[in-house]
């Protein structure tokens, strides 16, 4: 859950005032409608409530399922818009609970065994579904306990609901190759859960329009606009350095502030408490002691050949090393090890509030291994600072939630920055490397945003895009593109960045056997360099070159990943600089 330490008091007051207005006005609206129809009270009250259900379900894709899930409110004249949203989320949770139960029932018994590989896939699916249930519980509790502050929390709700939908998709992927008799009960139960999860997300995203449609005219503004206005004021007071030098510092040693002391030291040479990172991570115990905000692991210089996972319950883990001298590496890949892409990751972070500084994450499967992840981030509020992330195809997976990358070097060949989360990469260097002999088309980014109302996109801000030196001899051989739309609602923004001349002037390429270029959302703003010329870009109606800062505002750190809310603590703790708005402006 995003913290609130950075919120400005006046903005909180404004949100509280508006939230109170929402509750009062909604109550007045429904009360007035009842008072106007005393002569036929029962019939009109029911008619009004049924109309409200229809309006609330309007933005959803599965309207029949939506109306059935909200039917209990059809006879409640006192139900507010917030009640309808909460009911849709509770309905989704009931269905996801059923899917989790179906997955839990797939286990060996006295009559039959489940092949180990199928069991592992089912276990992974069950884990992902448990994450979805946790996020739904968090969403419900947040809505139940908020005191007229829906405007403050609406983006949090959409963030969690996006993850809920995504976790179910990832569960499908996990069991995709399992025997039908094991996966069929899970997939059957998931039909309703995905529909209702999708509906809840659509209602949350369209909430301000629902308010307007219900004729609460005094509340005729967008909740997202409120967030934008708040962020805009923050940005106007935020100072930033001059940009345009195109120089990105590589990872360097040091944990940040001198007051930061590690809880555990890892050293390959035996001079620390442990010789492996996995052993150090296993010592984490929740909750952390009173007053302790982070669990800190220092990894001394060395090459650590291991797969590391920061588990979901291991929150606020901060790991730092000695830059390019501290290397976490393995060679897991889809081709060599027959794994699904996420499970090839050398290093995975699932626990909320994960932070990494001065580390190198590497996958050595090489171009022949095809999909092979170096770093997988599924951590809400993750910060990756002064790190190198090295691989070939599918190097960095920004899997779920809001993430911030600063002063990193990321290398790869095809779709090497991809995912379904919300990621901002700032003041970093992206390097294209030499692929295998049969690959000629190289793509930097592939966003997996499936629905237009999901919160899941990527943004480059003041990034330098270049290629590794070994590719100079093959100048002109490869077609190198900025990105391609992996899913129908793929969304990306490249702003104030230095784009090298090695890029194909078209900039983007369609996803094969799809028409996602017709529905994606790609933006460019104030980029520079020979690769930034717009004259020969693809003529997609979904590609926009933004001129007005107000148009680019939604893709700044403050707005896009709500950075003001949670990056303040990381800035104080480990010294990560962040610019909330535009750097050049």
Tokens linked to 76: 């409640």
Instruction: Name the 3-class secondary structure at 458.
Output: strand
∠ CA 143-148-151 to the nearest 5 degrees? 80
Residue 523 pairs in a beta bridge with: 493, 544
Q: Are 416 and 452 in contact (CB under 8 A)?
A: no
Residues labelled catalytic? 415
DSSP character string of 99-123: HHHHHHT-S--SS----HHHHHHHH
Tell me the HSE value of 355 on the side-chain side, using a 13 A CA sphere.
24
Q: How far apart are CA 394 and CA 503, in angstroms?
A: 19
Tokens linked to 242: 């001059």
Q: How far lies 474's CA from each of 82, 434, 440, in Å?
A: 59, 9, 11
Q: How far apart are CA 359 and CA 356, in angstroms?
A: 7
Q: How far apart are CA 538 and CA 372, in angstroms?
A: 29
Q: How far apart are CA 479 and CA 503, in angstroms?
A: 7
Tokens linked to 263: 């809880």
Sign of CA dihedral 311, 339, 516, 485: positive
DSSP 371: B
Q: What are phi and psi of 127, to 5 degrees?
A: -65, -45
∠ CA 101-105-106 to the nearest 5 degrees? 125
Q: Where are the alpha helices (DSSP H) in 305-438?
A: 334-337
Mark residue 147 as left, alpha or beta (left: phi above 0; alpha: psi -120 to 50; beta: remaining).
Answer: beta
Q: How far lies 347's CA from each of 322, 372, 377, in Å?
A: 17, 11, 8
């Amino acid at each position: 859950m995003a913290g609130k330490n950075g919120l400005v008091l006046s903005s909180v007051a404004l949100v509280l005032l508006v939230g109170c207005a929402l509750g009062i006005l909604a109550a007045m609206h429904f009360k007035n409608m009842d008072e106007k129809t005393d002569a036929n009270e029962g019939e009109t009250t029911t008619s009004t409530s049924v109309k409200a259900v229809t309006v609330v379900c309007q933005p959803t894709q599965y309207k029949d399922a939506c109306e059935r899930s909200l039917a209990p409110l059809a006879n409640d004249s006192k139900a507010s818009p917030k009640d309808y949203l909460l009911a849709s989320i509770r309905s989704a949770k009931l269905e996801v609970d059923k899917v989790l139960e179906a997955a839990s029932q797939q286990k060996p018994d006295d009559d039959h065994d489940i092949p180990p590989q199928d069991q592992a896939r089912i276990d992974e699916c069950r884990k992902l579904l448990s994450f979805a249930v946790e996020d739904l519980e968090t969403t419900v509790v947040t809505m139940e306990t908020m005191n007229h502050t829906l405007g403050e929390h609406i983006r949090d709700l959409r963030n969690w609901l996006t993850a809920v939908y995504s976790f179910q998709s990832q569960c499908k992927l996990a069991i995709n190759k399992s025997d039908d008799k094991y996966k069929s009960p899970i997939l059957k139960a998931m039909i309703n859960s995905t529909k209702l999860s999708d509906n809840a997300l659509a209602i949350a995203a369209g909430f301000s329009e629902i308010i307007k449609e219900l004729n609460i005219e005094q509340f005729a503004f967008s909740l997202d606009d409120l967030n934008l206005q708040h962020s805009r004021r923050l940005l106007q007071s935020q100072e930033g350095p001059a940009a345009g030098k195109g120089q990105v510092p590589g990872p360097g040693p040091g944990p940040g502030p001198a007051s930061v002391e590690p809880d555990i030291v890892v050293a390959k040479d035996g001079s620390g408490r442990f010789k492996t990172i996995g052993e150090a991570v296993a010592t984490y115990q929740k909750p952390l002691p009173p007053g302790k905000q982070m669990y800190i692991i220092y990894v001394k210089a060395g090459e650590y050949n291991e797969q590391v996972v920061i588990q979901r319950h291991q929150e606020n883990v901060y790991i730092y090393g000695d830059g390019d001298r501290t290397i976490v590496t393995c060679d897991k890949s889809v081709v060599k090890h027959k794994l699904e892409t996420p499970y090839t990751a050398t290093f995975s972070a699932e626990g909320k509030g994960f932070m990494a500084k001065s580390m190198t994450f590497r996958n050595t499967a090489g171009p022949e291994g095809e999909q092979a992840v170096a770093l997988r981030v599924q951590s809400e509020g993750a910060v990756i600072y002064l790190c190198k992330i090295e691989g070939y195809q599918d190097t960095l997976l920004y899997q779920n939630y809001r993430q911030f990358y600063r002063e990193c070097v990321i290398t790869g060949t095809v779709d090497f920055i991809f995912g379904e989360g919300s990621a901002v990469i700032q003041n970093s260097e992206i390097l294209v490397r030499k692929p295998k002999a049969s690959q000629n088309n190289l793509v930097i980014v592939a966003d997996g945003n499936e629905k237009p109302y999901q919160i899941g996109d990527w943004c480059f801000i003041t990034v330098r895009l270049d290629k590794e030196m070994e590719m100079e001899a093959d100048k002109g051989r490869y077609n190198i593109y900025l990105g391609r739309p992996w899913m129908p609602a793929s969304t990306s923004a490249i702003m104030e960045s230095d784009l090298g001349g090695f890029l194909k002037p078209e900039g983007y390429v369609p996803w094969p056997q799809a028409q996602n270029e017709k529905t994606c959302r790609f933006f460019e703003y104030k980029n520079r360099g020979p690769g930034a010329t717009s004259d020969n870009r693809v003529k997609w109606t979904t590609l926009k070159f933004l001129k007005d800062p107000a148009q680019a505002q939604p893709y700044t750190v403050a707005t896009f990943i709500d950075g003001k809310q949670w990056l303040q603590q990381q800035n104080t703790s480990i010294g990560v600089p962040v610019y909330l708005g535009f750097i050049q402006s």
